[in-house]
Amino acid sequence: MNSTTSQSSVPFPIDSDGDDDPRVLEIVKEYQNEWDAGRRPDRAALLARHPELAAALAVYFDGIDFMHRGAKALSSTGPGPRLETGLVRGDRLGEFELVREIGRGGMGIVYEARQAALNRRVAVKVLPAAFAADRARLQRFTVEAQAAAAVAHPHIVTVYAIGEDRGIHYYAMRLVDGVALDTLAAEASTSLPRCLDETQSFDPTGKNAKSLGGPGLAQSNSAAEPLIALAQSDRKKYHREVARLGSQVARALDHAHECGVVHRDIKPANLLLDRDGHVWVTDFGLAQLADGPAVTRTGGAVGTLRYMSPEQAGGDRRRLDHRTDVYSLAATIYELAAGRPAFPSEEPGVLLHQIMHDDPTPPSEVDPDLPIDLETVLLKALQKEPGDRYATAGELADDLDRFLAGRPVLARRPSSWDRIKRWAGRHPASLAAALGSLVVVAVASGIAAAVVANEQRETARAYDLSQKAHAETQQARLDADALAHSERHRADEAEKRFRRAKQLGDLVLQITEEEMGADRPFQGPRRRLLLAALDNYRGLLAGGHDDPLVRAELDRVTARVQRLLAEQNLRWEADGAFLMRMAEVRTELALTPDQARQVDRAFQSNKGDRRRHDPGTEAKIELIKSLAAEQRRRLHQISIQFRGPMVFNEPEVVEALNLSYPQRLQIRAIQTEELGGFGPFFGGGFGGPPGKGPRQPPGFDVNAKAKAMERILDSLAPDQRDAWSALCGKPFTPSR
């Protein structure tokens, strides 16, 4: 309320004893005028002066107080003052009486409170009024409470109630006396041994455990102090205690996953250790319910970067499931056990690259006392690919329990061949570069073979002349024989090098067909290898080998490589075949009635099945082949436009624009910042009924896509932008 509030208005009219007394209105005006003048009214004095009207006046005073506190909270959301709820000691929310503030987080403020009906201390998390006005924040706050309430478990902080009182949203939960494991990780570090602050107490959010204190909570933590002492005196016992805590958390997460809840923000700060050595999982603010609405922005990566799984850090929502919690828990146990994070960089860009591409340092190299079996369990749970980790958090807990019981764990350390394959899967560009180098060597060898073959022919002619010129003496004949033998040996060696060069080219071709195939992630490296193989075979042909059978074989294998490249291009074009379901696209392409009917038949759904039918790649290729050359070219241009910012990852675009490696890294960073790295593959999304075109996915942020495209195009050189315009053709914008 501000100074312009009408002096005659009385907020929150009620129906109670004393309302018809004219003195009530005058006293309420006096109380309101004190607020408007910037002074806090003396409520107790006014009620004491008029005890016969106290019941009626108290209700009016409550309404005025809440209005002014709400206005104060809203006015403090800008830069400068911190966010406030306007609540003070003694205020009530439902059946909970607030005692004091004990913590702050990204989604609200936590108070210690007393539940009068059950005479118990609880923690009450309150959503500030400024956040409640934001539908997305309110929805996330509600999902946080629902997720925690849905997964009742002895190691998950219990939610007692959720409610709303006079526009203030809150939920009550168990109050935990303890310490967050991020504090334990810092105190138990092998490099910085310290003692726990004896004045420290803990808040249930796990976000301000190092700064909260005061009366009401215990002033020391009997569970943390022995652990810290073990960390500094007996590392082996300390590692067993860390494994025990990890097993408790894994059991809790396995139960949550079975209930359809993925936490998505497991980290030391969200794990609480109470005075009995009991660990609690808290803060479900980023949780995703299996049957609930998505509460994160499309393209947004959620969680704390240091503990994110690779698919979570890369924003790959298609691969994001319960196994991301398995990775985050393993990263947490790694930090507690080794005394440092799995990836210690403080630079966000470097840290993101390490999570996405690098293997963590084996923790035994950081702490030599760490048991090999525990290290094996952690390294399995920290695998880049979700399928290489434990399938469930329960399996991780089982292996930790085997370690604690002194039994062999089921996890196995990856072999050298496994590490090579996983490295190749994460670094296809590096693999392509290495194979490309081999191809270059093969091409060089082929050229050398051709030169040697030419020298062999010249030497043979010289040998004949030498025979005639030195026929007079036996010594001359012997010399000529020796020279001929030497030259024949050189010719044989040249032929061997030629064969090796061809065999290497054949191996590269075999890898592209058998190992890479049509898997989409390998199509960029596959194209580069095919082009390198094509150059190799052409170089061998240019060497002028004199065996017609060899030349015929080179002609055949060259044609085969060209055919594979053409098939790859055709498959890429076929990805855009679904666009012909849009009426605007059909008009743009001027499809004939027969062509339109062919498209409808290909995408026709089964009888009774309302889902969109995908005819498969081969059927899409047939549709593409049925188009005239100009129709096919224009459809490909429209398809490129529909793919949006992610099209700059496609080999055709990379090749057409001649993007350098630093440019591709820069574009990837823009995609991650604006779309989280996993925006819809096509700019307009998939689905939609025939003739209506693709649907936008839920929560799709068109502005984020447009911003990403603008930033990427701005990063290109002028000649690259010209090449982009030629590749896309004239803009195509369907009506929505």
Residue 324 and residue 349 in contact, taking contact as beta carbons nearer than 8 Å: no
Helix H or strand E encompassing 173: strand 168-174
The tokens describing 648, both together, are 């700059």
Task: Give dist(CA 670, CA 651) in Å, integer.
Answer: 18
From 267, 300, 280, 256, select the one nearest 146 (Cα to Cα).
256
Residue 172 DSSP code: E
Neighbours of 456 (CB within 10 A): 18
| Total length of the chain | 736
- How far from 473 is each of 467, 479, 486, CA to CA, in Å? 10, 10, 20
Neighbours of 508 (CB within 10 A): 20
From 314, 324, 300, select the one nearest 354 (Cα to Cα).
314
Q: CA angle at residue 245 from 323 to 198, to 5 degrees?
A: 130
From 375, 445, 464, 447, select the one nearest 414 (Cα to Cα).
375
Selecting among 65, 177, 265, 283, the annotated active-site residue is 265
- Give the phi and the psi of residue 540 in degrees, each rounded to 5: -65, -40
- Give the phi and the psi of residue 23 in degrees, each rounded to 5: -70, -25
First-to-last C-alpha distance (Å) of the chain: 44
DSSP, collapsed to helix, strand or coil, labels residue 296 as coil
Neighbours of 604 (CB within 10 A): 11
DSSP, collapsed to helix, strand or coil, labels residue 498 as helix
Neighbours of 134 (CB within 10 A): 12
Residue 262 DSSP code: E
- CA 469 to chain CA centroid, Å, is 80
Exposed / middle / buried, residue 617 (Cβ in 10 Å: 0-12, 13-18, 19+): middle
Neighbours of 414 (CB within 10 A): 17
Residue 599 and residue 581 in contact, taking contact as beta carbons nearer than 8 Å: yes
At 204, the amino acid letter reads: P
Task: Give dist(CA 620, CA 624) in Å, integer.
Answer: 6
Residue 576 and residue 642 in contact, taking contact as beta carbons nearer than 8 Å: yes
Q: Is 594 a catalytic residue?
A: no
Going by their DSSP bridges, the two strands 108-115 and 120-127 should be labelled as antiparallel
Task: Give dist(CA 326, CA 322) in Å, integer.
Answer: 7
E strands present in 198-315? 261-262, 271-274, 279-281, 288-289
CA quadruple 240, 242, 244, 250: dihedral, nearest 10? -140
Task: Give dist(CA 377, CA 368) in Å, integer.
Answer: 16
| DSSP symbols for 213-230 | -STTS-SS-TTHHHHHHH
Please report how the helices 523-542 and 428-469 are oriented relative to each other, as an axis angle in degrees rounded to 10: 10
- Ordered strands of the 108-115 beta sheet: 92-93, 96-105, 108-115, 120-127, 168-174, 159-165
At 409, the amino acid letter reads: V
- How far from 56 is each of 32, 49, 167, CA to CA, in Å? 15, 14, 22
From 593, 599, 595, select the one nearest 628 (Cα to Cα).
595
Residue 83 DSSP code: P
Task: Give dist(CA 560, CA 566) in Å, integer.
Answer: 10
Q: Report the catalytic residues.
A: 265
